[in-house]
């Protein structure tokens, strides 16, 4: 099928990997995710002075400002994310926390702020937002334990806590796993969700297609304190000297 401005979906998926958004004013999108558009749309950095009020009211997350742009005007905006699945969600007076790298876009009627959990953003209020995932997204009810790498986010509930299965890493088999793998697994460490709410998981234990370990590491450094950044810098300098 050949698409044009008249037959594109209205705020809907073209397929599992692309989404068409009807823009009638302003919208925040993750930088580099615009695939194509029809109409009179304009893309600008959030640091542009003209959007100070908009950023102050809707994007209360200075550490992530560089990762997003504001779209203004009227038209149809097609978004994609390296062949990852894209889904839209409509919040109604909601409280949703999502992995920051997976937040693809959201309407300014939502307030975006940094979560107390490193690497996550919290969206508050009423409006539409888009998220990408490695595979389809599924919804779970607590109490449940989730592999951290498969977690996309959680809604209307407290932050999770870590739960370690030390027996999994004991003995000879545990030693072998620690040597052959440079990352922990869901069998070893999980996120424990209790209370009321909804958990969102993706159908994969790996990050977004096309993402790199560096992107993940950088996203997790945003919440580090000054002394922690200094420790990280010292560690990196030592690694570079030994290479």
pLDDT in tens, the chain (243 residues): 899 999 999 999 999 999 999 999 999 999 999 999 999 999 998 876 678 888 888 998 888 988 999 999 999 999 999 999 999 999 999 999 999 999 999 999 999 999 989 899 999 999 999 999 999 999 999 999 999 999 999 999 988 998 887 665 555 455 444 444 444 555 678 999 999 999 999 999 888 887 655 655 665 565 566 777 887 888 788 777 776
Q: Are residues 123 and 240 in the same domain?
A: no
Res 172: pLDDT:
47
Res 153: pLDDT:
96
Domain boundaries, position 237: 212-243
Q: Are residues 156 and 195 in the same domain?
A: yes
Of 149, 121, 150, 148, the C-alpha closest to 58 is 121
Res 74: pLDDT:
97
| Cα dist from 162 to 57, 75, 182, whole Å | 33, 44, 19
Res 180: pLDDT:
47
Res 166: pLDDT:
65
Query: For the chain, how many structural domains are there in total?
Result: 3
Q: Are residues 66 and 161 in the same domain?
A: no
Res 218: pLDDT:
62
Q: Are residues 201 and 243 in the same domain?
A: no
Q: Are residues 158 and 205 in the same domain?
A: yes
Q: Are residues 88 and 154 in the same domain?
A: no
């Amino acid at each position: 099928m050949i698409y044009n401005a008249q037959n594109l979906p209205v705020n809907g998926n073209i397929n599992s990997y692309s989404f068409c958004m009807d823009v009638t004013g302003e919208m925040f999108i993750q930088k580099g995710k615009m695939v194509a558009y029809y109409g009179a749309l304009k893309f600008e950095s959030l640091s542009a002075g003209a959007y100070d009020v908009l950023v102050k009211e809707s994007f209360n997350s200075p550490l992530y400002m560089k990762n997003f742009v504001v779209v203004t005007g009227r038209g149809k905006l097609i978004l994609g994310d390296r062949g990852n699945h894209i889904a839209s969600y409509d919040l109604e007076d909601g409280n949703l926390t999502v992995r920051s790298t997976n937040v693809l876009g959201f309407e300014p009627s939502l307030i975006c702020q940094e979560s107390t959990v490193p690497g996550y953003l919290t969206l508050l209020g009423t409006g539409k937002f888009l998220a990408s995932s490695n595979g389809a997204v599924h919804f779970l009810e607590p109490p449940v334990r989730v592999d951290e790498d498969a977690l996309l986010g959680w809604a209307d509930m407290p932050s999770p806590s870590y739960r370690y299965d030390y027996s999994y890493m004991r003995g000879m088999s545990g030693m072998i796993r620690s040597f052959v793998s440079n990352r922990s697994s869901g069998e070893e460490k999980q996120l424990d969700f209790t209370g009321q709410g909804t958990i969102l998981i993706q159908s994969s234990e790996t990050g977004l297609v096309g993402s790199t370990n560096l992107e993940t590491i950088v996203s997790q450094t945003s919440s580090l304190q000054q002394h922690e950044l200094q420790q990280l810098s010292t560690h990196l300098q030592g690694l570079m000297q030994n290479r």
